[in-house]
Structure 1
Amino acid sequence: MPKYHSAAAAEIGRRIRAARQELGVSLEDLGELAEVNWTTIGKIERGASSPTVESLIRIATALEVDPGAFVTGISAAQYGGRPHQLTARDFIAARREQGGTRRTAG
């Protein structure tokens, strides 16, 4: 089992730990305040797991930090295992070049 989930998870965890330590809050106390198990927060801080959006927002709220501060600058490439770097814009442009006009219901 890897020490960390991904470079992105490690960076998000580092940011959370720094915010928590800056306030002098223990993992146990943050867990209680955020209503997230403190062992889960520990795994997130170590980068061993990636937080769910709900956990991220609960932790940020408890620390009085904008949740965006934990993910600013993080890219999909930092999660690894992505076989391509295409975006929706790239996909649409390629489809137009091939003459495809298929649309999906939204």
Structure 2
Amino acid sequence: MKEPRSRASEHIGDLVRDLRHQATMSRKLLAERADMDVSHLARIESGQGNPTLYVMIQLATALDIEPERFVRGLTANDLPDDIKPYSEADFRRELRRRQGPGDRR
């Protein structure tokens, strides 16, 4: 079995799996209620997924919990290593790149 993608991914996956078990729900049933593919849910539960905010809200609704429960206690240090923080300068640079040479503001 692969290592979790990050501490945050492991935390969210463990919580989803534990809550699903407490609700005596199969993975298939939770996936249906959260409107997602079973394989995607399996990746999340194993810590291999990196669920979006939308997915976490879908799962929270299906599990009848508040979405913030997924991130409670997590910090930026728990995020995957491949997610780097962006500075304001990075955003401005990207905006200029997308605007092209003729639309500098």
Query: What is the deviation of 1:81?
Result: 3.0
Percent identity over the alignment? 30
Alignment: residue pair count: 84
Superposition pairs for residues 1-106 of structure 1, below 5 Å? Answer: 3-81=3-81
Give the match for residue 103 of structure 1: none
Give the Cα–Cα distance (whole angstroms) in 2 for the partners of residues 80 and 42 of structure 1.
18
Q: What one-letter code is carried by the residue in structure 2 that aligns with 1:69?
A: R
The range that moved more, 2-11 or 44-53, is 2-11
**Residue type of the partner of 1:67?**
P
Structure 2: state its 5+ residue gaps.
Answer: 89-105
Distance 1:81 1:55 in 2: 21
Unaligned runs of 5+ in 1: 89-106
Instruction: Calculate the TM-score normalised by the size of structure 1.
Output: 0.72
**TM-score w.r.t. length of structure 2:** 0.72
Q: Deviation per CA, 1:1-59: give whole Å up to 9, x if none.
A: x5321111001110111111100001100011110111101100110011111111001
